[in-house]
Amino acid sequence: MRCTISQAKGPQSVFNQALQHLRQGEPQLANNLCDQGLIQYPNDANILCLNAQAHIAAKNLEAAHANVSKALKTHPDFATAHEVYSDLLLIEGKFEQAIGGYQHALKLAPDRSRINSKIERGKQLLQSLDSDSQEPLNDLAFNKELAQARQHKADEEPEKAEEIYRTILRKNPNHAEAMRLLAAVATVHRKHEDAELLLSRAVSVAPKFSRGWLDLAKTQLELGKHPEAIISAETLVSLSPDIAESHVALANTQAQSNLTEQSITSYQRALEINPAHPGAFSGLAHQLKTIGRQQEAIATHRQNIALNPTNSEPYWNLANLKTFRFEESEVSDMETLLEDHSLEDLSYVQLCNSLGLEYEGRRDYDRAFSYFQRCNDRHRQSEKYDPIGHEVLIGMITKIFSPEFLNQHHGLGLEDQSPILIVGLPRSGSTLIEQILASHSQVEGTHELSDLAQVVQDIKKIGPKGSHFPENLTTLPANAWADIGQQYIDRTLKYRTGSPRFIDKNPNNFIYAGLLKLVLPKAKIINARRHPLDSCFGSYKQLFASGQPFSYDLTELGEYYLQYQALMEHWHQVMPGTVLDVDYEMVVADLDTQVRRILDYCELPFEESCLRFHETDRAVKTASSEQVRQPIYASSVNLWKNYEPHLEELIEILEPLLQARGG
């Protein structure tokens, strides 16, 4: 396939066209354009380096070497050439040389924060070669095999790489790196228990294997084994105390274990080692924000920007404070960064989202929508979402959870009334409801837990092979229902500190309301609702750190909302009185009445503190953390009307619901 340069006016035009193809996942077209451009501009450094990057993406490492070597020869002080060359060295396993190359590139271009991350990555990989158990990683007999496995992974042939790891372990069962790599394969397939066994074995035979301890800590977090994960991360720090990434790994583990103050200390230690570490800055600022130290969080983000001016994440984190406004110079800097054609996709979407939120704050809604749209159009390309599959799932849930099915399994669950689940769609007022309830003396807020979804995944282990939720529920034995409820309660204990009741506010749990009714019949389920257009557009303009893949396209958003609404109506029909709908607009209009209504449903006595929720001192991790620390406000009600000219397709999809509620 060939691609012709269109209206090329110079090397910059060639570069821009080729870069666009590379970003769209078309490296061969990018190579074709670069090859044509190099006929006219044979020594252009940018085109040579971009050609090398496209060859790397196409798994053609020899051609990449040829391009970047020429760039280095003709432009020895060009930082990008040194960076791309170091990328190649890293891929080839030449970690020490790659680190040196990155360090030289950073000297040539001190403002490129991403190079710091690459240096840390190289140090991690180099450290992973340090093992004191029979030299399993330095066994020269397996270097060639591991290089072949890396190439198979680069060629998107993971099965061949996996077989190499297994072959190595058959020959040397104590090869720690092969165990670590095989554990990574298990992690990809979400077999975290298998990964933990492999990694535990790896660090047992190689106690100084830093990378093994790092991966083990991450795996233990996935399994909800927070104390064990902290021990693994602390071991990593003891082995690599002078590497900032070790302290960041410990801080991340502490943060996920709700040890906020300890995580702050660990992030600060990482910054003592590497004063410009972007990840440590972001983690530190997030923890400061979580406990309400907003001004310190803002100052930390701004320090990150000052030391890493091309890093987009602190801008995005600042914008997500919701109550924050950028200075004019910061807006100008973000718009200038967007003009950088080498900007990575994540940086692009973070900057666009940040600018969208800023212009919304300035009430320039047309410009705000333009940035939201640019953000979502780009980000949707990287998200995996199957709207048809989701519709089929909702249909299957409504079919299986019939009145007969619910009656048949009634009374088999666990009699535990501690959970209060807040469900719905994102950006529908769930954090406000959580803050109100968490202000009660008998209730503690946790955050958006993934434990219920994990418990549902684990049901596959006791059902017929190959069966999935919800079909696998039809074959469960009578004693399984209470066991499932107990598993959920046990998994959530690590987030709790002793209050009789706790809140799980993962919005996606709305699909499990029927299951909850059976496994935990005394659990309370609150459905956080908001005007459909405010709810949908609130999700559209929120760039989620992960999950919610349906939220980046207005058509998919509208259809998802219809499916959500249909399922909630089904729950009300087959389980009357089980789910309490709470409308954000009604809470704003009459806080006292709605607070009493929520407490009555949860069978909790009224407490005045629930009306003064904004005074409650607790950690809040969601995007609304600063908003719920303010008294009730109405500025978000009917916010969608400011964007009405841009929402025609969404309005058309939601028309039946809008008519039913009178607009």
Same domain, 591 and 447: yes
Whether residue 163 lies inside any domain: the answer is no
| Lowest-confidence pick of 124-133, 159-168, 209-218, 423-432 | 124-133
Whether residue 41 lies inside any domain: the answer is yes
Q: Is the pLDDT of residue 32 over 70?
A: yes
Cα–Cα distance measured from residue 52 to residue 460, given in angstroms and rounded to the nearest whole number:
45
Q: Is the pLDDT of residue 580 over 90?
A: yes
Single-letter amino acid, residue 22? L
From 94, 110, 126, the end of a domain falls on: 110
pLDDT in the model for residue 613:
87
Whether 345 contacts 382, CB under 8 Å:
yes
Same domain, 433 and 320: no
Same domain, 341 and 439: no
Handedness of CA 180, 182, 187, 190 (dihedral sign): negative
Average pLDDT over residues 230-250: 92
pLDDT in the model for residue 100:
84
pLDDT in the model for residue 614:
82
Q: Is the pLDDT of residue 59 over 90?
A: no
pLDDT in the model for residue 128:
56
| Lowest-confidence pick of 49-58, 139-148, 342-351, 500-509 | 139-148
Q: Is the pLDDT of residue 251 over 90?
A: yes
From 348, 382, 416, the end of a domain falls on: 382
The pLDDT confidence band at residue 404, using thresholds 50, 70 and 90, is very high
Whether residue 623 lies inside any domain: the answer is yes
pLDDT in the model for residue 565:
96
Same domain, 393 and 360: no
Q: Is the pLDDT of residue 636 over 60?
A: yes
Whether 93 contacts 74, CB under 8 Å:
no
pLDDT in the model for residue 61:
82
The pLDDT confidence band at residue 3, using thresholds 50, 70 and 90, is low
The pLDDT confidence band at residue 310, using thresholds 50, 70 and 90, is confident
Helix/strand/coil percent split, the chain, to 5? 65, 5, 30
The pLDDT confidence band at residue 629, using thresholds 50, 70 and 90, is very low
Q: How far is CA 498 from CA 444, 506, 523, in A?
A: 9, 21, 17
Whether residue 619 lies inside any domain: the answer is yes
The pLDDT confidence band at residue 139, using thresholds 50, 70 and 90, is very low
The pLDDT confidence band at residue 343, using thresholds 50, 70 and 90, is confident
Same domain, 393 and 378: no
| Lowest-confidence pick of 28-32, 341-345, 402-406, 571-575 | 341-345
Q: Is the pLDDT of residue 6 over 60?
A: no
Q: Is the pLDDT of residue 440 over 60?
A: yes
Whether residue 486 lies inside any domain: the answer is yes
| Lowest-confidence pick of 133-142, 165-174, 651-660 | 133-142
Same domain, 365 and 485: no
How many structural domains is the chain composed of? 3
The pLDDT confidence band at residue 152, using thresholds 50, 70 and 90, is confident
Pick from 552, 551, 505, 554: which is nearest to 527 by CA? Answer: 505
Q: Is the pLDDT of residue 577 over 90?
A: yes
Q: Is the pLDDT of residue 183 over 50?
A: yes
Kindly write down the DSSP assignment for every residue of 620-639, as one continuous string: --STTTTGGGS----TTTTG
Same domain, 452 and 522: yes
Same domain, 447 and 506: yes
The pLDDT confidence band at residue 394, using thresholds 50, 70 and 90, is very high
CATH at residue 494: 3.40.50.300
How do beta strands 443-445 and 419-424 pair?
Answer: unpaired
From 89, 110, 131, the end of a domain falls on: 110
Question: Mean pLDDT over all residues of the chain?
Answer: 89
Kindly write down the DSSP assignment for every residue of 143-180, as one continuous string: HHHHHHHHHHHHTT-HHHHHHHHHHHHHH-TT-HHHHH
The pLDDT confidence band at residue 483, using thresholds 50, 70 and 90, is very high
pLDDT in the model for residue 130:
47
Whether residue 137 lies inside any domain: the answer is no
Cα–Cα distance measured from residue 374 to residue 540, given in angstroms and rounded to the nearest whole number:
12
Q: Is the pLDDT of residue 623 over 80?
A: no
pLDDT in the model for residue 132:
40
Whether residue 152 lies inside any domain: the answer is no
* Alpha helix stretches (DSSP H) within 439-526: 451-458, 480-492, 513-519
Whether residue 566 lies inside any domain: the answer is yes
Same domain, 460 and 497: yes
Q: Is the pLDDT of residue 2 over 60?
A: no
Average pLDDT over residues 435-460: 92
The pLDDT confidence band at residue 83, using thresholds 50, 70 and 90, is very high
pLDDT in the model for residue 167:
94
Average pLDDT over residues 293-317: 93
pLDDT in the model for residue 8:
46
Same domain, 339 and 478: no
Same domain, 438 and 529: yes
Q: Is the pLDDT of residue 558 over 90?
A: yes
Average pLDDT over residues 73-93: 89
pLDDT in the model for residue 632:
62
Could you tell me the two tokens for 445? 């807020």
| Lowest-confidence pick of 85-99, 296-310, 430-444, 563-577 | 85-99
Q: Is the pLDDT of residue 615 over 90?
A: no
3-state secondary structure of 340: coil
Q: Is the pLDDT of residue 381 over 80?
A: yes
Could you tell me the two tokens for 609? 């503190």
pLDDT in the model for residue 528:
97
Q: Is the pLDDT of residue 269 over 90?
A: yes
pLDDT in the model for residue 325:
94
Q: Omega of the bond prior to 314 within 30 degrees of 0, cis?
A: no
Handedness of CA 651, 653, 656, 660 (dihedral sign): negative
Q: What is the largest CA-CA distance in the chain?
A: 79
Burial letters 206-239, b for 16+ CB under 10 A, else e: bebbbbbbbbbbbbbbbebbbebbbbbbbbbbeb
Task: Indicate the DSSP class of residue 582.
Answer: E
Q: Is the pLDDT of residue 138 over 90?
A: no
pLDDT in the model for residue 443:
96
Percentage of residues in the chain having pLDDT higher than 70: 93
pLDDT in the model for residue 166:
94
Single-letter amino acid, residue 340? D
Q: Is the pLDDT of residue 293 over 50?
A: yes
**Contacts of residue 319, Cβ cutoff 8 Å, sequence gap at least 6:** 326, 353, 354, 357, 358
Same domain, 400 and 480: yes
The pLDDT confidence band at residue 373, using thresholds 50, 70 and 90, is very high
| Lowest-confidence pick of 23-27, 213-217, 346-350, 630-634 | 630-634
Domain that holds residue 326: 312-382
Q: How far is CA 59 from CA 3, 16, 51, 99, in A?
A: 20, 22, 12, 22
Average pLDDT over residues 634-639: 77
Average pLDDT over residues 57-68: 86
The pLDDT confidence band at residue 141, using thresholds 50, 70 and 90, is low
Cα–Cα distance measured from residue 476 to residue 180, given in angstroms and rounded to the nearest whole number:
35
Q: Is the pLDDT of residue 643 over 90?
A: yes
Q: Give the number of residues written for the chain.
A: 663
Could you tell me the two tokens for 233? 């991360």
The torsion angles phi and psi of 422, rounded to 5 degrees, stand at -110, 120
